[in-house]
Amino acid sequence: MTDTPATPRRRGAARTEELLRVTLDLAAEVGYAGLGIEAVARRAGVGKHTIYRRWPSMSALLLDALSRVWASDLDYRDTGDVRADLREQFLRSGLALSSPPIGPVYRAVIAEAQADSTLRATLHERFLATVEQRTLDRITRAQRTGELTAEANLEFAAEVLCGTLYYRSLLSTRPIDENAVDGLLDMFMAAYGTSTRTRAQTSHAASCETPQVGAEPVPRPANPRLSQTTTSDPPSC
């Protein structure tokens, strides 16, 4: 990459930025295994103190690194079609969760969280619960517009939707492909959708191309980066 050209040997806040980037690069290359403080320090050409001065543990570093890449382009769209919006977002999130930068870091955090209940709570509060909340917001709007039944318990629905995706990407060995997302949405819409009872059309979505043209789920919204500040923005599902 574009490593520091000369050698502006040391800075205060720029180092923090660089260390986060190095952590993500390292995670993308070597995965969770071999991802430690010393590895990051070596990779960045940095003393371990420089890391410990910023984060108390590897877990904290990982959380910040995760915020950096998991926060940005993750808001749900609202085209008026819940199912399409959810589908687009789920596919995008599923891809992200399985891809080099985010996947390994997420795995690392989850692994360490198994031995640290405090970290587990932080992980849940800072990421999982936030993701559920975004999902809940989106389907709540759909409920208000009449796309979903009024008596649907959307809190649980949001958890089920997000939980299934996390389960599949992090615990299962199956990929989050269109088939999986459609199956999940089939069940969700069958339960709480108000339009045509049989919106399902179980799987086999690949047999015929998506008829929709106007609301083509082409994920190319390219959300304008609101701000690239290092503030840990909440992610979405």
By CB under 8 A, the residues from 75 to 114 that bind its own copies are 107-108, 110-114
Q: What distance lies between CA 219 and its chain's CA centroid?
A: 15
Which one of 44-52, 54-62, 64-72, 163-171 is the stretch in contact with its own copies (CB under 8 A)? Answer: 163-171
Q: Which does 222 bind (CB under 5 to 8 A by kind): its own copies, DNA, none?
A: none
147 binds its own copies (CB under 8 A): no
* Phi-psi map region of 6: left, alpha, beta (phi>0 left; psi -120 to 50 alpha): beta
Q: Which does 223 bind (CB under 5 to 8 A by kind): DNA, its own copies, none?
A: its own copies
By CB under 7 A, the residues from 42 to 81 that bind DNA are 44-50, 52-53, 57-58
Distance, CA of 30 to CA of 95 (rounded, Å) = 19
User: Any residues with CB less than 8 A from the CB of 15 and at least 6 apart, and which?
Assistant: 46, 50, 54
| DSSP bridge pairs for 193 | 148
Which one of 58-66, 75-83, 86-94, 194-202 is the stretch in contact with its own copies (CB under 8 A)? Answer: 194-202
Provide the token pair at 147: 């796309």
Provide the token pair at 27: 């995670």
Q: Please tell me whether residue 131 adopts helix, strand or coil conformation.
A: helix
By CB under 8 A, the residues from 204 to 233 that bind its own copies are 218-219, 221, 223
173 binds its own copies (CB under 8 A): yes
By CB under 8 A, the residues from 119 to 138 that bind its own copies are 120-121, 123-125, 128
DSSP letters, 55-84, are: -SSHHHHHHHHHHHHHSTT-PPP-SS-HHH
The footprint of its own copies (CB under 8 A) covers 31-33, 107-108, 110-116, 120-121, 123-125, 128, 150-153, 155-157, 159-160, 162-164, 166-168, 170-173, 180, 183-184, 186-188, 190-192, 198-200, 202-203, 218-219, 221, 223
